Amino acid sequence: MIRLEDVGYVYPGGVEALRGVSLTIGERSSLAIMGRSGAGKTTLIKHLNGLLKPTSGRVTVDGVDTRKATVAKLSRKVGIVFQNPDHQLFAETVEDEVAFPLKNFGFPQDEIKARTEWVLELFNLTRYRKHSPLTLSGGEKKRVAMASIVSWKPKYLVLDEPTLGQDRENKLRLRELFEEFMEEGRTIIMVTHDVEFAAECGFDVALLVDGKVSALGSAREILSNVELLKKASLAAPQMAELFLELEGVEAQPVFTVEEAERLILSRLMSGSGRP
């Protein structure tokens, strides 16, 4: 598991980005880190593979203190996809970009080929395999960056704003990937402002406010709490907001269209006359 114990981080210029953050992220778990811009979300995830070392407190990955391990060693377990894909892309073709980490980690050639084919198809990138990743759109670049990390199936997959620039189809593919990874015993951690996606995926949610964890719980618990969301400058999922407007504070938390359909149908069948 990954443990953050009373972690504080101050940038060289004196900006205090994290203040006493304590989190335990277990195996087969899924966590969405949410909060306003500048709350410390990206700073937090950079601690997970040692890109940043805590100013105070400590971070351990499967018992290894990140201050005592190299980024290269930690990155074999903790794969991070940054918010800006331009910070990760460098190869001449999309295919080379995806295959590079597999070659770097010493995978056999036949497995490199199989994994490359799998991940290009998964992220809807097969037609771009011979294109330069730098010529693609922002959303396509994002998928290439994700594919290059997902290809080696790290134990801990960390994604910074994975749904930026993605349409509904690609978000569904991402959800399916999360389900597959968790079935394999892997852990998903994502930074996101996409409350709809976090709700649909059913992740646990850690709300960050001014460098501190202000709340931690299930998506249903956190994303239906209007006061908590206000503190983090987030809006509730649209479906939840709609049912709150219709029924007030006693509304049953509803996050997806499927849940709304089931609730409405059950009420109509019960003869309550109230959708």
Chain segment 152-177, per-residue pLDDT in tens: 999 999 999 999 999 999 999 999 99
**Torsion sign across C-alpha atoms 116, 117, 120, 121:** negative
Which residue ranges form the domains of the chain, and what is each CATH number? 2-228 (3.40.50.300), 237-275 (no CATH)
Among 13, 4, 101, smallest CA distance to 53 is for 4
Query: Stretch 254-272: mean pLDDT, rounded?
Result: 66
248 Cβ partners below 8 Å, 6+ apart?
Answer: none
Q: Is the pLDDT of residue 250 over 90?
A: no
The single-letter DSSP state of residue 249 is G
In this prediction, residue 73 carries a pLDDT of 92
Q: Cα torsion at 184, 186, 192, 198 (round to 10°)?
A: 40
Rounded Cα distance, 134 and 108, in Å: 27
Question: Are 178 and 201 in contact, with CB atoms under 8 Å apart?
Answer: yes
Contact 57, 5 (CB under 8 A): yes
Residues 6+ apart with CB under 8 A from 236: 195, 223, 224, 226, 229, 244
Q: Label residue 269 by pLDDT band (50, 70, 90).
A: confident
Would the pLDDT of 133 be above 90?
Answer: yes
Q: CA dist 65 to 31, 140, 170, 188, Å?
A: 21, 35, 36, 20
What whole-number distance in Å separates Cα of residue 95 and Cα of residue 186? 25
Helix (H, G, I), strand (E, B) or coil at 226: helix
Give residue-wise pLDDT tens across range 85-130.
998 999 999 999 999 999 999 999 999 999 999 999 999 999 999 9
3-state secondary structure 34-98: ECCCCCCHHHHHHCCCCCCCCCEEEEEECCEEHHHCCHHHHHCCEEEECCCHHHCCCCCCHHHHH
Q: Is the pLDDT of residue 249 over 50?
A: no
Q: What is the DSSP string of 109-172?
A: HHHHHHHHHHHHHHTT-GGGTTS-GGGS-HHHHHHHHHHHHHTT--SEEEEESTTTT--HHHHH
d(CA 160, CA 42) in angstroms, rounded, equals 7
Torsion sign, CA atoms 92, 98, 104, 109? negative
Task: Return the C-alpha torsion angle 178, 180, 183, 186, nearest 10.
Answer: -50
Q: Tell me the one-letter amino acid at 144.
A: V
The whole model's pTM is what?
A: 0.87
